[in-house]
Amino acid sequence: MIQVGDTLPQHTFMLRQKGEASQPGTDDLFAGKKVVMFAVPGAFTPTCSQAHLPGFVVQADALKAKGVDSIICISVNDSFVMEAWGNASNAEHITMLADGDGAFSDALGLAKQTGTFGGIRSVRYAMIVEDKVVKHLAVEEAGKFEVSSAEAVLAAL
């Protein structure tokens, strides 16, 4: 599993914003930037939609006031789903990043197999990344939502 002090692996993502598709890489998203990235097991799922993403929507200005250049939500969903979820959640200040096949989550050591529920998914976590290096990592225990909230990340900045 990735640890504090490790550099994020190189990866190319799928991203849809305002109906336009792009394929940003790790360097595009993280090089020379202070980024808060949080991962959810699935878009439109209960805890993710009712607590995790909304917390970051509400706290976006406070995070940016602490020097955060961008906020990224990542999930093992396709880019169409991530764009729709972002739109439905008023997440215009959050980059809704698709890890469609789970390869990035797996490379971080933060993937889990859910079988027929949804296959490979990400565990729930939040991290602070500066210039591609992990500075803070908070991984939730299965079924919990405590250490990866927007408020917890704000306290860690």
Which residues are annotated as catalytic? 48
Look-up: residue for tokens 């990035």?
Answer: 104
DSSP state letters, 83-95: HHHHHHTT-TTSE
Sign (positive or negative) of CA dihedral 121, 122, 123, 124: negative
Of 130, 115, 118, 124, the closest CA to residue 31 belongs to 130
At residue 29, φ and ψ (nearest 5 deg) are -90, -30
Rounded distance, CA 26 to CA 107, Å? 13
